[in-house]
Amino acid sequence: MIRAVFNRKGGVGKSTITCNLAAVAAQQGKKALVVDIDPQANSTHYLGHDGNDNIVGIGEFFDSQINYSFRDLTADDFVRKTKFDNLYLISANSDLIDLESKLVSRHKIYKLRSFLKELSKIYDEIYIDTPPVLNFYSLSALIACDKCIIPFDCDVFSRKALYELLENIKEVREDHNDELEIEGIVINQFNAQARLPAEAVAELEAEGLPVLKPFLSSSIKIRESHREHKPVVFMSAKHKVAQEFTELYLRISGLWQEPEEVSKSADSQKSDSSESLSEADTEEVEKQEVV
């Protein structure tokens, strides 16, 4: 599964959502890869790395598509380990800015898709953090991914940008990637006590847009996790926001069970166990009678 986290508006939490969903996947035993293609390199820094540390990353990969450098490397050679089990990273840096015009002029828009298809043979789940603009890199990500997650921060300007973004994704699906799906809209920095965020979400739901649950709460814990270079699900697993990320991941992965379902499943298991025990007791009695 290859997911792109994309919104043309900045400050909506793309990197936070990308890294924490990948972190939950890693916690669940999946081999998860974060691919940072934003020149700001927020996901790279969030996971505790420096894109300028002379370790090859996404910039070197794209450079290899227009020059003869790094041609002897395999796709997996561009991946680095993080300090977290099962969580890997392809880092970014500001070199991407200078490379973009060259990549556009050489028509390299499909190279990321081929690259990630190779990596999907090694990694269970791939998460792409995109720049907050529809440019060569974000378009490459939408062409390469199976599903797109759209962060939404309940701002008035975010709503306007959201409608334009939905049209952009529709066009990409028609022209470049007919398998592209919008997995859903993630409500980020949600304040349940405020009226305007609740109204904004209700309007999206009333229009039939795919709003995902749970909503991600606004919390200082996220900023602390940025400072510690540690996804919140690793830093404070029992915190409300960490649990929201975990539930969100389980829901989009089809693994979530509602509390009532879990209770019914447990009761069913107890009932099955009791029936099995009863059958075993009956067999024992029958054996004793035969003797």
- Spell out, as residue ranges, where the chain has pLDDT lower than 70: 156-157, 260-291
The architecture that CATH gives domain 2-256 is 3-Layer(aba) Sandwich (3.40)
Rg over alpha carbons for the chain, rounded to the nearest Å, is 23
Pairwise CA distance, residues 94 & 38, whole Å: 8
Using one digit for the tens of pLDDT, what is the confidence trace for 126-158?
999 999 999 999 999 999 999 999 999 887 667
Task: Report pLDDT for 272.
Answer: 56
Task: Report pLDDT for 267.
Answer: 54
- 36 beta partners: 129
Residues 6 or more apart in contact with residue 93 via CB below 8 angstroms:
39, 41, 44, 51, 52, 57, 59
SS3 category, 151: strand
Tokens describing residue 3? 């997911």
Task: Report pLDDT for 132.
Answer: 94
Task: Report pLDDT for 289.
Answer: 45
Total Cβ atoms within 10 A of residue 238 = 6
Query: Are 119 and 79 within 8 A, CB to CB?
Result: yes
Task: Report pLDDT for 184.
Answer: 96
Task: Report pLDDT for 11.
Answer: 86
Query: Are 190 and 212 within 8 A, CB to CB?
Result: no
Q: Domain coordinates of the chain in residue numbers? A: 2-256, 259-291
Query: Are 229 and 47 within 8 A, CB to CB?
Result: yes
Pairwise CA distance, residues 21 & 273, whole Å: 36
- 87 beta partners: 32
